[in-house]
Structure 1
Amino acid sequence: MEAKHISCFVLLVGFVLFQVNAEPVEDKQALLDFVNYLPHSRSLNWKESSPVCNNWSGVNCSADGTRVIAVRMPGVGFHGPIPPNTLSRLSALQVLSLRSNGISGEFPFDFSNLKNLSFLYLQYNNLSGSLPFDFSVWPNLTIVNLSNNRFNGSIPYSFSNLSHLAALNLANNSFSGEVPDFNLTNLQQINLSNNNLTGSIPRSLRRFPNSMFSGNNIPFETFPPHASPVSTPSATPYPKSKNSRGLGEKASLGIIAAACVLGIVAFVFLIVTCCSRKKGEDEFSGKLQKGGMSPEKVVSRSQDANNRLTFFEGCNYAFDLEDLLRASAEVLGKGAFGMAYKAILEDATTVVVKRLKEVSVGKRDFEQQMEVVGSIRHENVVELKAYYYSKDEKLMVYDYYSKGSVASMLHGMLHFSIFFFFLYSWSSIVLAISKTEKIKCQY
């Protein structure tokens, strides 16, 4: 009996240790084969000796750590066709982002093994040929972005079988033929511009702007919007209030009200002063766009000029300029040379981006200065991880530390001390005025 209990205990301990030290061995080998057979210009920290789920940049695993579910490697400098039988072995993969690289060749036929794929980002590459005929092999696809490649042929009608599809971007390719009638209720965004499409816009897609179909041989028709009657609310007379108070009491209440208003104004002023450096969240892409330019156009222009984020040696970040444009950002502070933002990327990576303003310097001089700043190594100085240069934008990327700012530590308590002192003093003044007016009213 005791031997049986000991055996059960050993099995239980072994099972627990297996769960703790779980490693997606097969998925790890598939990623190693992928990166070893596909040339790339940036160094990666994908090492066989390190855990894939905790250390590999751009890779996310399931909650139990047994499968790889997301691979995000934008702007790594991949060039050449995707090696067969590598990424297709990641059968639990849900997110695949290889955008802004130099990947060529046709759409990988063995991607049909990725049955759980939900998000596919392959834009800004050199992929060519026709798309797979049957996209229904990926029933969970939600976002598909294949824009800015060299795909041709017709757009597969099988997209209409993807009931979860919310966004489809096939712009800036060479697709031909008519636009399929995608009768998808969940479709929120579509972009088929700058192709060789013909025919007319299907009825199910007429709710989208004409600009999403521009650059094709498609005539635009004017569809009158559905008019809905607008009811005008009837005016309701306000009841008149009776004047039932004496003049002395009115004066007393007026003075007290004025004192309260002044107190509120002073309170708001202090709050604005204390929080002037902590503005609300905004879209970082909106800050970078000029004249309403979309992120795709910004990235396209920057890539045409070979302007990309430049990472320093040893940096393990795996994102590009488009990731920063899409990131949500919070203003951290404003200095003499620009604004600092806390940017949260789609893979939950958090960095600090300093957007320089009014810095008129050539690209060569700017790069030399950045190399000097990036070479600084000190325990009390945050290291510069990457930078970006263009004629209109100059960015510096740092690690984010969540301990707060030095300014808040030095001046935060001072602001609150002044506020409470002012609030106490003003309350005393209001109380004194109210007592004085009450005495006057008694006489």
Structure 2
Amino acid sequence: MALPVRLLVLVLLVVVIGETGKLSTLRLLRAEPTQDRTALLAFINRIPHERRLRWDNSSACDWVGVTCDDNRTAVVFLRLPGVGLIGTIPSGTLGNLSALRVLSLRSNRLSGPIPADFRGLALLRSLYLQNNLLSGSIPSGLTQLTRLVRLDLSGNNLTGAIPFAINNLTHLTGLFLQNNRLSGNLPPINIDSLVAFNVSYNRLNGSIPKILEHFSASSFVGNLDLCGGPLPPCNPFFPSPAPSPAANPVNGSSKKKLSKAAKIAIAVAAGVVLLLILLLLLVCLAYRRRRQRARDKAAKGTAAATAARSGDTGMTSSSKDDLSGGVSGSGTASAVAAAERNRLVFVGKGGGYSFDLEDLLRASAEVLGKGSVGTSYKAVLEEGTTVVVKRLKDVAVSKREFEVHIESLGKVEHDNLLPLRAYYYSKDEKLLVFDYLPAGSLSSLLHGSRGSGRTPLDWDSRMRIALAAGRGLSHLHTAPQVVHGNVKASNVLLRTDLDSAALSDFGLHTLFGTTAPPNRVAGYRAPEVLETRRPTFKSDVYSFGVLLLELLTGKAPNQASLGEDGIDLPRWVQSVVREEWTAEVFDVELMRYPNIEEEMVQLLQVAMACVAIVPDTRPDLPDVVRMMEEIVSRTESNDEGRRVVGSGGPSPPPTTTP
């Protein structure tokens, strides 16, 4: 009996080993998402594209733009932004990726309708189809993807109405439909989680639903027939009721005549009132001129006349009297004292200018902008020189402290710093004089007039401007050891040579004490400055990091469309990167330039190091500049390598950062 028992045990072992082998074989077979691979190959083989994605015989999980789950059994992310896809998205392909969570086909040249079979992507959380040529209506299938968190269909040619069924997407946080041809009424979209919304530049009409009125006007502009809410109120289109046929025609005629007479009387009365106001103004002006001539005669000079014209600089009448010396008597001693009080003090190389305060006050002026430290004016002197005059506000230091500090700032010289040329100090006015750079600021160049016909700021230009600003800030931190205290895009002024871009407004924060926080633009302010109200070298690094993120994303630091109320640019970038949407942070205007993804990711890493919450973990500015210069040098080496390869053989496969 022992032999049969042993034989039975042996047979059981063989069966167990065989089953184990089968299970292992099954696991190996399941390691490749066969069905999803078939769908992806069908998609890429049926759609033209400018450059090959190198989807070869390797595992589909290793293909460019494809990410599988941990078990490598299904495709969960498909990111193909800006890879030159052309034509209609073939049906029966991407719609079969049933486990897909993120689909990004933005910035290609896709046309035709959005496939109806996208309704099968039941697990989809993010859909990015912006900046293509897609047409047709918004398919009802998209409103069935109830797990969607972000839906971006902007920058296409979509037509028809926005479906009310959008309300089915109860988890939606961002809905972007701007720059299409959508028409009809805007439906009441009542989604509690929705924090980013934009339907601007379509053909919508009617009034904005009450539930959407809390979004800013920029979310609705460009729809000529849309009104209400943050836009101008809707005009009443209900005419007065017509008179009844049974009414007495005589009475109706008399009422009409009475109405016209009332209108004529009102018009005449208004004309009389206007005439009286003009006469009163003329009398006041003549009286003022008479007083001014008397003051000029008493002052024996032109100082008071100069002050009278200083209204072009936006100064008050008391300020004009102060700047002109405030003299009403006569005598040489008074004139000398007034001249000394009105002295424009030149610093650094500002002595090369040949104008004085009277010339400055006689100059024609226009407001350039109101910043966190004061108002800036463009002043064109009579001899043709153009300068910038900054009128400071809330200065909290004494005259002696002011003069000593400004004298020290006047000695700071660097190609990437805007030099201070002169200053004026009186009780009521504190003025600084700078060179005028006609090319404007980085902020206006980066954010101004976005839309059709705009020439985008390319990657090379952005990198050159960033390096120029970084070098200027690094010089401030090392040689004169001055904290800038107000690093922001509007303080990066441009020259024709972008490598010579200059930082302005440096070192002025000490003039205002601690009563008002420096760098009042909250988006650039380091977290610790909110408590200490004193900027440091490390807070400058944080602000510079925000500036780099602004160049990479194309978004202003406090832009409302970043998401929830109060979110700033660093937090928004961190949240997107944390969700593995790294490519979604980059400015769409940069996606048209090939072979820059790697450099953008490298600069993004530098920027994220700069905006670290703990100040001591942030790099020093010289190290930041060195890292940026290494990125540029590697880029130049890669460009040279590409030119060599291109001259003798096929180009290497492109790299795409999902």
Q: In the alignment, which residue of structure 2 is the partner of 1:132?
A: 139
- Is the CA contact 2:116–2:141 (under 8 Å) kept in the aligned structure 1? no
Deviation at 1:112? 1.6
1:310 aligns with 2:599: no
Instruction: Name the SS of the counterpart of 2:631 in structure 1.
Output: strand
Q: In the alignment, which residue of structure 2 is the partner of 1:201?
A: 208
Deviation at 1:206? 1.7
Distance in 2 between residues matched to 1:327 and 1:161, nearest whole Å: 40
Q: In the alignment, which residue of structure 1 is the partner of 2:41?
A: 32
Deviation at 1:355? 6.3
Q: Which amino acid aligns with 2:27?
A: Q
Higher helix share: 2
- Is the CA contact 2:52–2:653 (under 8 Å) kept in the aligned structure 1? no
- Is the CA contact 2:54–2:64 (under 8 Å) kept in the aligned structure 1? yes
CA deviation vs aligned residue, 1:173-231 (integer Å, no higher than 9, x gap): 000111111111111111111111111221221221111111112224469xxxxxxxx
Instruction: Name the SS of the counterpart of 1:199 in structure 2.
Output: strand
Q: Which amino acid aligns with 1:8?
A: V
Instruction: Name the SS of the counterpart of 1:107 in structure 2.
Output: coil
- Is the CA contact 1:353–1:398 (under 8 Å) kept in the aligned structure 2? no
Q: 1:181 to 1:327 in 2, by over 3 A?
A: farther
TM-score by length of 2: 0.40
Aligned 1:87-102 pairs, distance under 5 A? 87-102=94-109
Q: In the alignment, which residue of structure 2 is the partner of 1:354?
A: 631
Unaligned runs of 5+ residues in structure 2 are 1-8, 232-535, 563-583, 611-618, 646-651
Distance in 2 between residues matched to 1:320 and 1:42, nearest whole Å: 20
CA deviation vs aligned residue, 1:270-310 (integer Å, no higher than 9, x gap): xx9999999997585313467939799x956567xxx5123
Aligned 1:12-51 pairs, distance under 5 A? 12-20=20-28, 22-47=31-56, 49-51=57-59
Deviation at 1:5? 3.2
- Give aligned-pair identity as a percent: 32
- Is the CA contact 1:88–1:113 (under 8 Å) kept in the aligned structure 2? yes
Aligned 1:119-268 pairs, distance under 5 A? 119-216=126-223, 217-221=225-229
- Is the CA contact 2:66–2:75 (under 8 Å) kept in the aligned structure 1? yes
Deviation at 1:110? 1.6
Distance in 2 between residues matched to 1:157 and 1:326, nearest whole Å: 41
- Is the CA contact 2:136–2:157 (under 8 Å) kept in the aligned structure 1? yes
Aligned 1:28-107 pairs, distance under 5 A? 28-47=37-56, 49-53=57-61, 55-107=62-114
Distance in 2 between residues matched to 1:137 and 1:213, nearest whole Å: 25
Deviation at 1:37? 1.0
Deviation at 1:371? 2.9
Q: Which amino acid aligns with 2:163?
A: P
Distance in 1 between residues matched to 2:203 and 2:12, nearest whole Å: 73
- Of structures 1 and 2, the one with the larger relative CO (CA 8 A, separation 6+) is 1
- Is the CA contact 1:176–1:198 (under 8 Å) kept in the aligned structure 2? yes
Q: 1:183 to 1:279 in 2, by over 3 A?
A: closer
Q: In the alignment, which residue of structure 1 is the partner of 2:425?
A: none
CA deviation vs aligned residue, 1:377-431 (integer Å, no higher than 9, x gap): 9xxxxxx998xxxxxxxxxx999xxxxxxxxxxxxxxxxxxxxxxxxxxxxxxxx
- Is the CA contact 1:285–1:327 (under 8 Å) kept in the aligned structure 2? no
Q: 1:172 to 1:74 in 2, by over 3 A?
A: same
Q: 1:325 to 1:182 in 2, by over 3 A?
A: farther
Q: 1:162 to 1:353 in 2, by over 3 A?
A: farther
Deviation at 1:327? 11
- Of the candidates 330, 342, 360, which is equivalent to residue 609 of structure 2? 330
**Farther off after superposition, 38-47 or 199-208:** 199-208
Aligned 1:279-294 pairs, distance under 5 A? 282=546, 284-288=548-552, 292=556
1:3 aligns with 2:267: no
Larger radius of gyration: 2
Distance in 1 between residues matched to 2:193 and 2:17, nearest whole Å: 51
- Is the CA contact 2:33–2:73 (under 8 Å) kept in the aligned structure 1? yes
Q: 1:75 to 1:12 in 2, by over 3 A?
A: same
Deviation at 1:169? 0.3
Distance in 2 between residues matched to 1:43 and 1:168, nearest whole Å: 32
Deviation at 1:30? 1.0
Q: 1:340 to 1:160 in 2, by over 3 A?
A: farther
Distance in 1 between residues matched to 2:550 and 2:95, nearest whole Å: 36
Q: In the alignment, which residue of structure 1 is the partner of 2:391?
A: none
Unaligned runs of 5+ residues in structure 1 are 224-271, 312-316, 342-351, 357-366, 378-383, 387-396, 400-443
Q: 1:109 to 1:353 in 2, by over 3 A?
A: farther
Deviation at 1:39? 0.8
Deviation at 1:370? 5.8
Q: Which amino acid aligns with 2:218?
A: S
Instruction: Name the SS of the counterpart of 1:4 in structure 2.
Output: helix
**Farther off after superposition, 35-44 or 17-26:** 17-26
- Is the CA contact 1:285–1:326 (under 8 Å) kept in the aligned structure 2? no
Higher strand share: 1
Q: 1:275 to 1:398 in 2, by over 3 A?
A: farther
Deviation at 1:131? 1.1
Aligned residues: 305
Instruction: Name the SS of the counterpart of 1:80 in structure 2.
Output: strand
Q: 1:374 to 1:338 in 2, by over 3 A?
A: farther
Q: Which amino acid aligns with 1:125?
A: N
Q: 1:45 to 1:327 in 2, by over 3 A?
A: farther
